[in-house]
Amino acid sequence: MRASPRPAARRSLARLAVGTLAVAACAGGDGDAEPSPSESTAAESTADEPTDDDPTSPVVIVDEPGDDDNSVDIPGSSTTDATGSTPTTAPAATTTLATVPDTGVPGLDSELPFCQAWSTFAGSFQALALASAFATDPDAARGAEVAASPVLIAAAVAIDAQLPEALEAERGVLTVDALGPLLRRAERNVAALRTAGATDAELDAIGEAWFDALASAGIDDPDIAPVLAEATATLVADAAAVVASETPPINQDPSLVTNAAIPETEAYLVANCPDQGTLAGNDIVDG
C-alpha cells in the first residue's frame, strides 16, 4: 500500500521519512511506539555513531585503517568517487524525461550517477518501510533490511560524492538530516553482519542480492526478499535477530521522521531524475 504516483497535492522531499513511513500509520498495533505521519520528530537514532568509514569492497563501507581506496560501486551502476572532498557535478538531463512508470524503481539504471544513487537509496527506503509494516513474516522484513544495508551505505556515499554543484548549499541537510537516520541504521546492520562473521565477499553478495530483488520486485511487494545462499542467509538472519533486539522496526522508529527542508534538491529530482521526485513522496494523491 503506497500513495498513488499520480498527484493532487505535493508532499515535501524534506519529509522523505514521512512519505515512506506513511504505511506505518496504517499498520498500527503498538500504541505510542510509532509516530504519526504528521509529526516531525527530532529524536536521535540509538545506533552507534560510525567512525572513519572506509569502503573496502565495491558495495560495502567498513572500517579498515590504512586503506585509502575510497571508491564505491552500487550494483548496476558506474564507478563513483566517494572521497566527498570536492563535490562532483552530475550532468543535467538533455532530453525530456519519460513518464514515471507505476511499477518498479525508476532510475536504478540512470546514466546520471546522482540520480542512480538517489533511486537506490530512496527506492530501498520505500520498499523496506512497506515490508516493516505489512510483511507476512516480520523476521523476514528485518532480514531484508539487513540485506539492503550495504547498498544503502554505498548509495548514501554516492549521493554525497555525486551531488550536483547546484545543490551544494543543501548538502548537509540532505546527507545528514534527511538521509542520516536510515544510514545510521544501515551502518549498525552491517556491523552486526560483521560480528556474525560476514566477510567482504559475503557482504558484496548480500548487497548485490538486495539490489537484484529491488530491481525485480520494486517497492510494492511487502514480502520482498533477496535470494541468498544458505550460509549467507543464515548470517543475515543472525544479524537481523541481534539488531531486532536493539532497535525498533523501520515503521516504528521515530528518528526516521524528520522536518529537513530541501527544496532545491526536490526541484532537481523532478527536473532531472527518472523518478521525478516520486520516490521522495512527491506524488499526487487522488481524491
- The pTM of the full predicted model, rounded to 2 decimals, is 0.70
Q: Residues 36-65, buried b or exposed e (16+ Cβ, 10 A)?
A: ebeeebeeebebeebeebbbebbbbbbeee
State how far the alpha carbon of 156 is from the alpha carbons of 5, 103, 147, 224, 242, in Å.
Answer: 24, 23, 16, 21, 24
Higher pLDDT, 84 or 103: 103
User: 13-22, 39-48, 79-88, 133-142 — which one is most confidently predicted on average?
Assistant: 133-142
pLDDT tier at 19 (50, 70, 90 boundaries)?
very low
Higher pLDDT, 81 or 139: 139
Average pLDDT for residues 83-109, to the nearest whole number? 57
Secondary structure of 3-44 as H, E, C letters: CCCCCCCCCCHHHHHHHHCHHHHHHCCCHHHCCCCCCCCCCC
pLDDT tier at 245 (50, 70, 90 boundaries)?
very high
**pLDDT of residue 16 exceeding 90:** no
Distance CA 72, CA 64 (A): 14
Model pLDDT for residues 111-130, shown as the tens digit of each residue: 999 999 999 999 999 999 99
Report the candidate in 90, 53, 51, 87 with the shortest Cα–Cα distance to residue 70.
53
Distance CA 109, CA 120 (A): 9
**pLDDT of residue 5 exceeding 50:** no
State how far the alpha carbon of 101 is from the alpha carbons of 104, 128, 218, 269, 274, in Å.
Answer: 7, 20, 11, 15, 9
Q: Which residue has the cell 497535492?
A: 9
